[in-house]
Structure 1
């Protein structure tokens, strides 16, 4: 099983939207895919109409969890009903505080890909996630503060790698909210490619209102608007990401 953290230290990058549509695209391509909502806000869970259900926080605190089959080949562990602050207190009390999540999630077998949607913050839960996954996907929106978010996220990953002696692959940096009509989108995209080179996906997610609209109806972009730019972009990205994972 390949384990991917979708993570960035900056909010508003389309992180959860990417987790949703990457997960569904991978499932449509025949990959048994597990999504895990690691964000206390529970946006990934809400996107599939699951609110207030047992999930990751309950798994860590009580060793019980419900797994939801949300689409064909697509499964979800929600963020959970337990208070995230209780979870953080629990993790701090562990002798090896960076590994409880890995032990909890290792029980899930028969899955090709696990996608973990992280919070846009530096906390002990994300540290646990990075000690579990083998790959990191960093969405980056085409705005002025984009570069800072990428740099900080890569720094955090490097620190985890150095401390744990684990090998974490940078699956790639995914440009999001690209608008070819604006100078800032073109400028930021150029700067990201110049600085990070082949770490940047060839695919990009163009700005598309139907992507946001799809979440109002608890649908992925492939269900809501299968012939939209958003569906095309996320499917193309998923193919590129899966090729990288298998290469």
Structure 2
């Protein structure tokens, strides 16, 4: 059974998609069979792997309401063990279409059940909101990984997300557990980065990953070439960080707050 990890934070620009793409790629390099599911209508995870939802091709929106066609939307990538279900702008309409449907929180879960047997890990990248697409991803997953940017307002965002996590776990998905918090855009020269790290360690002592992802220009450049950072510059500090994070994810067991 695949480990299904949702990567979520309702705040934008925290390294969520960067983490989803690069964690998936690094797990694939470890010869784990990985499926990346792009749940964001902006489709940045898709383009970050050089995959684009062209007219006529199946994507997440195409199969969200037809889970029996899920395997047809899976696209191979340049990495042998990594596949993706790409997103498209049409996914914006899914929020409206789901609103009046019975069991609206579980459409993505049903889709994942139809494809999970073929993978060791499924990584779900969420939009920067706590709307129905994110709730669907939280209901489809068994583990939550939170990327946290090292900035002043970071802890406010994580508090709101943890409230949502608790509600989803209590009412919709009792199997969901917290895998951990990974600090992104970390600058050891910046005092604020250290303060955020210490605050997370104080409030969530068992859930802070040892790996921190530094600010790194290679991580910013790689998506424009349609590559994860390990394919773009494997010697960069960004590639090293995500390889270490992948190793931690494999070893770590999720728990409850």
**What's the TM-score once normalised by structure 1's chain length?**
0.94
In structure 2, stretches of 5+ residues that fail to align are: none
Contact kept? 1:55, 1:81, Cα under 8 Å: no
Match of 2:217 in 1: 209
Match of 1:59 in 2: 63
Deviations 1:102-160 (A, max 9, x none): 11221112100000000110111111111110000000010111101111111111010
Match of 1:189 in 2: 197
Per-residue deviation, 1:79 = 1.0
Per-residue deviation, 1:164 = 2.0
Secondary structure class of the residue paired with 1:107:
helix
Match of 1:21 in 2: 22
Contact kept? 2:65, 2:107, Cα under 8 Å: no
Match of 2:233 in 1: 225
Match of 1:242 in 2: 250
Alignment of 1:4-15 (within 5 A): 4-15=5-16
Per-residue deviation, 1:81 = 5.5
1:123 is the counterpart of 2:131: yes
Contact kept? 1:142, 1:175, Cα under 8 Å: yes
Per-residue deviation, 1:100 = 1.5
1:2 is the counterpart of 2:18: no
Deviations 1:136-195 (A, max 9, x none): 000001011110111111111101011125121111000011101111111111111111
1:113 is the counterpart of 2:121: yes
Rounded to whole Å, the distance in 1 between the matches of 2:168 and 2:150 is: 27
The size of the alignment, in residue pairs, is: 246
Alignment of 1:10-89 (within 5 A): 10-53=11-54, 54-61=58-65, 64=69, 65-70=72-77, 71-80=79-88, 82-85=90-93, 87-89=94-96
> Which is worse superposed, 213-222 or 130-139?
213-222
- After TM superposition, which residue ranges in structure 1, 4 or more long, deviate above 6 angstroms? none
Per-residue deviation, 1:245 = 4.5
Rounded to whole Å, the distance in 2 between the matches of 1:83 and 1:214 is: 25
Rounded to whole Å, the distance in 2 between the matches of 1:226 and 1:156 is: 36
> Which is worse superposed, 193-202 or 76-85?
76-85
Match of 1:94 in 2: 101
Rounded to whole Å, the distance in 2 between the matches of 1:219 and 1:164 is: 35
Per-residue deviation, 1:67 = 1.1
Per-residue deviation, 1:99 = 1.0
Give 1:104's match in structure 2, choosing from 104, 108, 111. 111
Secondary structure class of the residue paired with 2:215:
coil
1:160 is the counterpart of 2:168: yes
Aligned-residue RMSD, C-alpha: 1.7
In structure 1, stretches of 5+ residues that fail to align are: none
Contact kept? 1:61, 1:90, Cα under 8 Å: no
Per-residue deviation, 1:83 = 4.4
